[in-house]
Amino acid sequence: MSSSSSSSSSSTSASCKISMLWNWYTIDSCFLARSWHVRSKSMFAGSCIGVFFFILAYYWVHRVVKEYDNAIVDYKTAQLQIVCDNVDNCENEKINHSWLFTAKKSHNADDVVIMPSIAEHSLKSLFFMVEWTCSYLIMLLWMYYNGYIIITCILGCFFGKLLFGYEPLAVVNKKSFTKVAAPVSKCCC
């Protein structure tokens, strides 16, 4: 009896079209799980929009991680200015946990190594876990070789970097521009 009910339900619902070759399937395509079975063009359009915003969210998390790192450095630097009377009196041990983590050795004796606290490092590890998981999910979406999904991923990557990847390339001291540069000769010989 159960075999007749399962055969009738499978005949009414279409199966997933999955190909390990380049394809342009829209209806009856499946991604990541059987529950993500696209049954109409509007569902497929929603899937493309969802993938696009998923990749935007991935780049947003990546930017949050960078900003969090900068915030830790700014906080620790301000903490150093309060703790240290002057540079000669400043100790590394007051701002890192050398008993648990080995601090990165500095090349210069005057440098101070800034390490995150255990809680800050735990949060950074959580962010890394989210980024790593998103990366693998994006890779799995690519492995369906669906042209529309791949184009959506590429567009999500471009707009994610465009929106959340805009940052300074370098900080240059104004004093380095005081010298007058020699004029550039246009002669090649």
Q: What is the mean pLDDT of the chain?
A: 80
- Name the token pair of 142: 């690519």
pLDDT tens per residue, range 51-93: 999 999 999 999 999 999 999 998 888 887 766 655 555 554 4
179: pLDDT strictly greater than 50:
yes
Q: What is each CA distance from 124 to 113, 118, 188, in whole angstroms?
A: 18, 10, 52
CA–CA gap between residue 130 and residue 152 (Å, rounded): 21
pLDDT tens per residue, range 89-142: 555 444 445 545 555 555 666 677 788 889 999 999 999 999 999 999 999 999
Nearest C-alpha neighbor of 104 from the set 6, 2, 1, 112:
112
